[in-house]
Amino acid sequence: MIVATTVEQVRAQVREWKSAGLTVGLVPTMGYLHEGHASLIDTARANCDRVVASVFVNPTQFGEGEDLDSYPRDFEHDCALLEEHGADMVFHPSVDEMYPDGGGQTATFVEILNDMPKQLCGKTRPIHFRGVCTVVSKLFNIVTPDKAFFGQKDAQQLAIIRRMVRDLSYGIQIVGCPIVREEDGLAKSSRNTYLSAEERAAALCLSRAVFLGQDLVAQGEKSADAVVDAMVASIQAEPLARIDYVSAVDGVTMEPVHTFDGTVLVAMAVYIGSTRLIDNFIVEA
């Protein structure tokens, strides 16, 4: 596996691959990789001739007081996982390589100006999706992939990136991949490492709420409000949980909905202690 740290290294290698007629897949990550990331690499490997993964903790998507400095990092482990799952190259740039003005600063951002980034996570993380769109746009320009692979756990991010790709005519196919869970149901997340043993047990309230919501829909419940209310009550039964939001939104626009009609995303963000976790499920009605 090639370990590239500069933009020019990546571009030179991708030019070589493309001149040989090979297709290129991109898996953007912030590192501290787990089985969820591995599933993205596996899917990319099955769909593309060459796979590039990026490992970069992007400062522009972290707000004041968020966990940029403490975000878990283990590049040696990341490389071992990527190589095991068949990645051909990992792009691991410094902050200054990605943002040459220094200190993670930039004068240019890519930003969606409709209400999509203002819903769900955007209500409490107002700059987050501007940073996501900016860094993903940069990665698209550097790697020029044919396909890019993102996890469904970050469902709002996935919808926003799809909109950005459409609006800016990138010509890249965005592939969403299913949530990967622990055996007990907790969605895989790099932030799970923040949890104490007691908090780890409490965090199961998220997946329990997801499974409850799915069961209600399967039983024929048509009211998204009723499903959300039941999920909220379930989470509130856990003393260590503090709800940021539990919401049902249109799966494309992210606008709130009250009934299941078309594609609906039921999503949540919940603090377990000081750790903010997310989970969701999709309803096709």
Q: What stretch of H or E contains 24?
A: strand 24-29
Cα–Cα dist 261/119, whole Å: 19
In angstroms, the Cα distances linking 183 to 1, 18, 67, 77, 251 are 30, 40, 27, 22, 27
Cα–Cα dist 105/283, whole Å: 39
SS3 content of the chain, % helix, strand, coil (to 5): 40, 20, 35
SS (H, E, C) 155-192: HHHHHHHHHHHHHCCCCCEEEEECCCECCCCCECCHHH
Cα–Cα dist 74/7, whole Å: 21
Cα–Cα dist 179/155, whole Å: 10
Cα–Cα dist 101/109, whole Å: 13
Q: For the chain, what is the total number of helices (H) and then of strands (E)? A: 9, 9
Q: Which residue reads 């993102």 in tokens?
A: 150
77 is catalytic: no
The active-site residue out of 37, 77, 85, 258 is 37
Q: How far apart are the first and last CA of the chain?
A: 43
**Active-site annotation, residues:** 37
